[in-house]
């Protein structure tokens, strides 16, 4: 069973993914990210997404 704290953690991870995707998006950024920064951000988002998926699978 999920607690309020667990719910907040899940929301926080989802918000981090959303924020990172917006940073990668052409329409929401004013300056182009260097390729290495984009790759690093993508890896970070993949880790957060994997963690979120695991949390959702194990918290029920």
Domain of residue 35: give its range: 4-58
Question: 3-state class of 18 per DSSP?
Answer: helix
- In total, how many domains does the chain have? 1
DSSP structural state of residue 31: S
Tokens of 3: 């607690």
pLDDT for 41 equals: 92
Helices 4-24 and 35-58, axial angle in degrees (round to 10): 160
Q: Are the CB atoms for 45 and 17 separated by under 8 Å?
A: yes
Q: Render pLDDT for 45-56 as a digit per residue (tens, 0 to 9).
A: 999 999 999 999
What is the spatial distance between Cα 33 and Cα 9, in angstroms, rounded to a whole number?
Answer: 28
pTM: 0.77
What is the spatial distance between Cα 31 and Cα 15, in angstroms, rounded to a whole number?
Answer: 22
pLDDT for 8 equals: 93
All residue ranges of the chain with pLDDT < 50 are: none
pLDDT for 28 equals: 65
């Amino acid at each position: 069973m999920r607690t309020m704290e667990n719910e907040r953690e899940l929301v926080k991870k989802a918000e981090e993914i959303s924020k990172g995707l917006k940073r990668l998006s052409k329409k929401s950024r004013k300056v182009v990210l260097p390729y290495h920064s984009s790759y690093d951000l993508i890896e970070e988002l993949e880790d957060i997404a994997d963690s979120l998926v695991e949390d959702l699978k194990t918290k029920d």
